[in-house]
Amino acid sequence: MTKKILSVLAILVLAFSLAACVNVENKKAAANIDMKITALGATNTITLDSSADVEAARKAYDALTSEQKELVTKLVALAEAETKITELRAAADVDLKIAALGDLGTLTLDKSSEVRAARTAYESLTSDEKALVTKLDGLRAAENKLYIITKDKDAAAGVDSKIMELKAANQLTVNDTQSVANARSAYSLLTVSQKSLVSKLDVLRVAENQLYLIAKDAEAAAAVDIKIMEIKAVGQLNLDDTQSVANARNAYNLLTDNQKSLVTRLDVLKAAENQLYLIAKASKQQTASNSESGASKWAGKTIVTYGDSITWYNGEVYLPATKEPGVTVVGYQSYMRNQLDARVINRGVSGYTTPEISRYIQSSDLSGVDAVTILAGTNDFRDMMSEPLGEISSIGSSFNEDTFIGAYQKAIEYILNNYPGTKIYLFTPIQAWEDSLGLMPETYPQAVINLGALYSLPVCDLYHQSGINESTKSVYIVDSDEVPFDFHPSTEGYAKMASIMVPFLENH
């Protein structure tokens, strides 16, 4: 009996000893977990870098027995750390979406869906998670940028709409000036970024250029209308008014077709020309009644003179860079008019070369014109380095009108073919000098002489017979040392030319 009791006591002692050992181990395991959790730090110091440690603590805790888990005292702190990690990951996901939007400067409307997705992701967070988002300002900036871009796009679209409401350029008139100006004003009010989004600016510029050309054409036409209205009333006209009427006609002829269509006083000009024609015709009939009276064969007849500034100068004022500045020019036409008693029309244009003079002749209506004189070549000599002299072609050929000779032939044949009753008189250019070129070569006057021979036309050789040469140019040429050329006759020079030209016309 005593033996049994002793055995039971021994077993109990052993059981208590084992239980005590197990309890110590459980406490030790739980304490180890508590140490891991404590090592994580305070919840507010947890970062995503703590994820591995938090997960390790949780894994270690999960490995405990139920008895050991009961002994862990920091489990709440672990749960808080895990919650913090979850919040940080959610916030980081939103931050990544915001970062993926890229640099604000390159943000375009193409990113609209990504911006909206980032905003949706942010709004789905809890308040604690939202507090952990570090790039919220970037999202707000992106949203603001898209708002501005959208606003800019709408503003630009409004201007594009105004531009597209304009008529096609070829249908624009002066009446459309305000609508084009409104479109330009709307564009000008845009910001620089808004202007960059306007896609129809070229259309606006084309419209503005077209209106500029229209305005320029209207201005040119108005200037001709003024010249026409300066002509006397038809009932007050006389032959002394021939030049003013011719000037108005010359101004009209120099207009483009579109500019001519804008002239409103053309009927007035035509009436004046018709009246002068009737006056000249009556004068011609009166003077022709007595062939022995000594009257000129040109009395009452119409002579049209074509040429460059040497022809144009008649009735104008010598320019400042001459030896006779401000003096009214008495050109060779004045001598023709006075000595031949003819109606002389001046169609000289300052600066014209022979190709330009030829085109002018070809645009002219020479109905009722008895004779045409052509005095050209000086400006062709001036431009000889860029404008070729050309070669004489057979009659009826296709001429190179960009050359001196080709243009001259084209003008001659235009008159012969269209106005066979109009006589043509050719005058060679006078001798002329240019500082870099020297004296005009004889190829120019010789070409005129050869053309006269080809077409059987009278040629007055002013180059060799006018008396204007190197030794006399100080008297007969008016250009001063301020200009690099000696082209234009002085008052005495024109008288010298006329002394050759007028008898030539009378005798041919």
> Greatest CA separation found in the chain?
195
Residue with the two structure tokens 């990690």: 85
- Confidence (pLDDT) at 387: 87
- Rounded Cα distance between 369 and 443, Å, is 30
286 falls in which pLDDT band (50, 70, 90)?
Answer: very low
Q: List, for residues 108-134, the tens digit of each pLDDT value.
A: 888 889 999 999 999 999 998 889 899
Does the pLDDT of residue 198 top 90, yes or no?
A: yes
pLDDT digits (tens, 9 = 90+) for 245-284: 999 999 999 999 989 999 999 999 998 888 888 776 655 5
What is the pLDDT averaged over residues 339-366?
A: 96
pLDDT of residue 422: 97
pTM: 0.46
**Residue 287: its pLDDT value, please?**
47
Mind listing the pLDDT tens digit for each residue in 380-393? 999 988 889 999 99
Confidence of residue 460 (pLDDT cuts 50, 70, 90): very high
Question: Is the pLDDT reported for residue 4 higher than 80?
Answer: no
- Both structure tokens of 270: 């035509």
Q: What percent of the chain has pLDDT over 70?
A: 93
> What pLDDT does 148 receive?
87
- Tokens for 268? 């007035």
For 10-40, write each residue's pLDDT tens digit.
Answer: 555 455 544 455 689 999 999 999 999 998 9
Topology of the domain comprising 296-507: Rossmann fold (3.40.50)
Burial class of residue 326 in the structure, from the number of CB atoms within 10 Å of its CB (0-12 exposed, 13-18 middle, 19+ buried): exposed
| 86-122: b (≥16 Cβ within 10 Å) or e | ebbebbbbbbebbeebeeeeebeeebeebbeebbebb
How many residues are given for the chain?
Answer: 508
- Domain residue ranges of the chain, discontinuous segments joined by +: 19-134, 152-218, 296-507
**Model confidence over 407-440: pLDDT tens digits?**
999 999 999 999 999 999 999 999 999 999 999 9
Residues 6+ apart with CB under 8 A from 252: 224, 228, 260, 263, 266, 269
Is residue 23 within 8 Å of residue 71, measured between CB atoms? no
pLDDT at 290: 36
Residue 233 has pLDDT above 90, yes or no: no
